[in-house]
């Protein structure tokens, strides 16, 4: 799948797709409380996406069985919602969601606290979000793709966290995953030159412990190998000649 440069018309559609996704994230965030199941979170997200006239793009994506990825604690990404999986006070929960509006995809992820959480867990969430913003400082036309990767890595390094290497960010548009792939760790090559009109999903996944991950037997859920907790922060952005536009912020 090639890198695509969006026209003004396509950019408007991406903006709307992402604006609607931000509303979905807001509603899911406000619903989070101890005692709810991860399936309830999926139902809230799925219902709102459809009410907004959109299609949940994760559902049936390579057979993924839900609309929202709900990943708890040591689950990094792609947790499968389950009515028996109950969120507990002190947990952290990563919600990854996307939708299709008039053929255009959006994708964003947030990690939330469930009730009161430890200062260590809160710091992991905060640093993961901040690493995204460190990365996109470099996201402008004329810079190179791996300037983003290197900036995320440099921001995380002093914290000693593990940066997940097996999953990366990606281009996005009329498909959920377009080229280029966007690693969140330092690269030797510069990568491609960024151009105005590229839309990218940048998504650091950061572990409190080591970077290594493994896949559970459900073939979806990615967990940390060492059992340490993990946070995720993702937005769909637009490259411009100046500052990037973050399309999925509320
Ligand atoms: N949001 C994920 C990404 O950033 C995609 C989820 S794949 C699914 O690439 F199958 F779980 F939907
Ligand atoms: Co993504």
- The pLDDT tens digits of the residues spanning 104-145 come to 999 999 999 999 999 999 999 999 999 999 999 999 999 999
**Overall pTM surpassing 0.75 (yes/no):** yes
Region 86-105: mean pLDDT is: 99
Region 164-191: mean pLDDT is: 98
Region 224-250: mean pLDDT is: 98
Strands 92-101 and 104-113 turn out to be antiparallel
Shortest-distance atom of ligand 1 to CA 58: 12
Which residue in the block uniquely carries the two structure tokens 């996109």?
136
User: What is residue 138's predicted lDDT score, i.e. its pLDDT?
Assistant: 98
- Give the C-alpha distances (Å, rounded to integers) separating 62 from 35, 48, 72, 103, 236: 30, 22, 22, 18, 21
Q: How far apart are CA 37 and CA 34, in angstroms?
A: 9
Whether the link from the prior residue into 207 is cis, omega within 30° of 0, is: no
| Distance between Cα 137 and ligand 1 center (Å) | 24
- Note whether 80 and 218 are within 8 A (CB): yes
Q: What share of the chain is helix, strand, coil (3-state, %, to 5)?
A: 30, 25, 45
Domain boundaries, the chain: 8-246
- Note whether 233 and 110 are within 8 A (CB): yes
Region 53-62: mean pLDDT is: 98
DSSP H helical ranges for the chain = 8-31, 38-51, 119-136, 145-156
Establish whether residue 64 lines the binding site of ligand 1, counting it when its CB lies within 6 angstroms of any ligand atom: yes
Is residue 152 over pLDDT 80? Answer: yes
Establish whether residue 98 lines the binding site of ligand 1, counting it when its CB lies within 6 angstroms of any ligand atom: yes
Which of 234, 244, 240 lies closest to 22 in space, CA to CA? 234
Establish whether residue 78 lines the binding site of ligand 1, counting it when its CB lies within 6 angstroms of any ligand atom: yes
| Distance between Cα 106 and ligand 2 center (Å) | 9
Residue 113 sits at φ, ψ, to 5 deg, of: -80, 145
Q: How far apart are CA 94 and CA 107, in angstroms?
A: 13
Is residue 1 over pLDDT 80? Answer: no
User: What is residue 240's predicted lDDT score, i.e. its pLDDT?
Assistant: 98
All residues at 6 or more sequence positions from 95 whose CB lies less than 8 Å from its CB, including other chains: 25, 28, 29, 41, 45, 68, 69, 70, 109, 110, 111, 112
In the chain, what is the straight-line distance between the N-terminal and C-terminal CA atoms, in Å? 29
CATH architecture of residue range(s) 8-246: Alpha-Beta Complex (3.90)
How high is the mean pLDDT of the chain?
98
- How many C-beta neighbours within 10 Å does residue 154 have? 13
All residues at 6 or more sequence positions from 228 whose CB lies less than 8 Å from its CB, including other chains: 74, 162, 207, 208, 209, 210
- Note whether 147 and 164 are within 8 A (CB): no
């Amino acid at each position: 799948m090639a890198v695509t440069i969006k026209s003004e018309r396509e950019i408007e559609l991406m903006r709307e797709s992402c604006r609607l996704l931000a509303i979905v994230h807001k509603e899911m965030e406000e619903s989070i409380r101890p005692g709810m199941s991860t399936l309830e979170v999926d139902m809230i997200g799925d219902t709102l996406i459809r009410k907004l006239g959109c299609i949940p793009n994760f559902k049936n994506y390579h057979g993924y069985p839900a609309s929202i990825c709900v990943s708890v604690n040591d689950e990094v990404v792609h947790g499968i919602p389950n009515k028996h999986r109950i969120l507990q006070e002190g947990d952290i929960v990563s919600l990854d969601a996307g939708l299709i509006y008039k053929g255009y995809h959006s994708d964003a992820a947030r990690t939330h606290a469930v009730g009161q959480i430890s200062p260590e867990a809160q710091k992991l969430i905060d640093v993961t979000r901040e690493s995204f913003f460190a990365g996109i400082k470099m996201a402008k036309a004329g810079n190179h793709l791996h300037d983003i990767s290197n900036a995320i890595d440099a921001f995380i390094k002093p914290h000693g966290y593990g940066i997940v290497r097996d999953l990366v960010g990606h281009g996005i548009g009329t498909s959920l995953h377009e080229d280029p792939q966007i690693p969140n760790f330092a690269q030797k090559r510069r990568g491609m030159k960024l151009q105005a009109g590229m839309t990218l999903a940048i998504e650091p996944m950061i572990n409190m412990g080591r970077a290594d991950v493994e896949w559970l037997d459900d073939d979806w859920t990615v967990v940390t190998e060492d059992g340490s907790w993990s946070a995720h922060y993702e937005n769909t952005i637009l490259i411009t000649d100046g500052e990037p536009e973050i399309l999925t912020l509320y």
